[in-house]
Amino acid sequence: MHLEIDECDSLTYMSVGLGQLTNLQTLSAFYVHSGFPSRHSDSSGLQELGGLNKLRGELEIKNLGHGKGVTLDCKAANLKEKQHLRTLTIRWKEVGLDDANNWDEASLEGFEPHPNLKGLSLYHYQGSRLPSWLLLLTNLVSFELTSSPKCQYLPTLSQLPSLKYLSLDSLEAMEYISEDGDSNELSSSSRVQTPFFPSLEFIWLYKCPNLKGWRRRRKMDSSVELNSDSDNSVEITEHHLLPSFPRLSELSIWYCPTLTSIEWIHNCKSLRLLEIRNCLNLASLPEGMHRLTSLQKLTIKDCPILLQRYNRDTGKDWAKIAHIPELHLS
């Protein structure tokens, strides 16, 4: 019923016949053979997971290849029928193929999980887009995307009502987190703001060297226009229609050198911790910093332009953050 596999760094594949353990409830890791599809005679493929529908808790799929032959095996894993699975981690091989982009996208489509899934983590994914089923995971609480150099933007994750934790790490190609904006964020006819990430509490942005802002410029209609200002931040003609994160508590931004503004956090009234490090071109904090009454800790480190404005002794905008209880500027 329970097979725990932890810190087995030399393990290279799972044995044939694993799929016959139909009462298995715990399988913490599944190692894909490094020579796939030319497997060792005793090694099993992902299809061994197909009938293990009593699995619950965590499942980590490791050493997944990037080639054409992987895609059918991923679908055969039949993750959609595993309604008790709570967290899924998929780790591709770190070194991808030149044409890995399309194959990885097809592989990930085949890994569609049951909507009950609460945690999803992807490592070394070589696709440029994420799968269509991601927005069907209405119970998803945590999403992590790490070391995915070709991923350009995310789908409209603001539609996920339960999402609390978002981590984007080492995404070299990403310029905007949302490419076209979210049609549900704003209503041009009613001028009423609808919830934007209604449950999100934590955001971690790390090593996104080309990140410019939250979303790319787009026009909504003749009366309301959504655009990026000179700092690439989000603005529209009706200032109160800017998206807000009603429950955002912690925001950490590290090593995002092309980011010049984070104006999109000006409505985050629940924000307690804001940490900004190594953002060389970040020029300003939101104008409404005084409205962030829950902010208890602000850290600004190795952000030369920003520190000039908010320097305790010489910065012209020091007064805008002086009320924050805990300040770390260096």
In a domain, 103, yes or no: yes
In a domain, 167, yes or no: no
In a domain, 223, yes or no: no
| pLDDT tens per residue, range 104-142 | 999 999 999 999 999 999 999 999 999 989 999 999 999
Task: Judge contact between 93 and 103, C-beta under 8 A.
Answer: no
In a domain, 84, yes or no: yes
Range of 66's domain? 1-151
How far apart (Å, rounded) are the C-alpha atoms in residues 317 and 164?
32
In a domain, 18, yes or no: yes
Secondary structure (DSSP) of 261-328? B-GGGTT-TT--EEEEES-TT--B--TTGGG-TT--EEEEES-HHHHHHH-TTT-TTGGGTTT-SEEE
In a domain, 313, yes or no: no
In a domain, 105, yes or no: yes
Total domains in the chain come to: 1
Task: Judge contact between 120 and 91, C-beta under 8 A.
Answer: no
Kindly list the averaged pLDDT for each block of 10 residues, start to end, along the chain of length 330: 88 87 94 62 77 95 84 89 97 74 87 97 94 94 96 86 96 84 43 68 96 71 40 40 79 96 87 96 89 94 93 87 93
State the pLDDT at residue 192: 44
Domain of 47, CATH number, reads 3.80.10
**Bond preceding residue 115 cis, omega within 30 of 0:** no
- What mean pLDDT, rounded, does the chain reach? 83
Task: Judge contact between 158 and 185, C-beta under 8 A.
Answer: yes
Tell me the CA distances in angstroms from 297 to 291, 307, 315, 321, one per residue in order: 14, 16, 19, 10
State the pLDDT at residue 85: 97
In a domain, 53, yes or no: yes
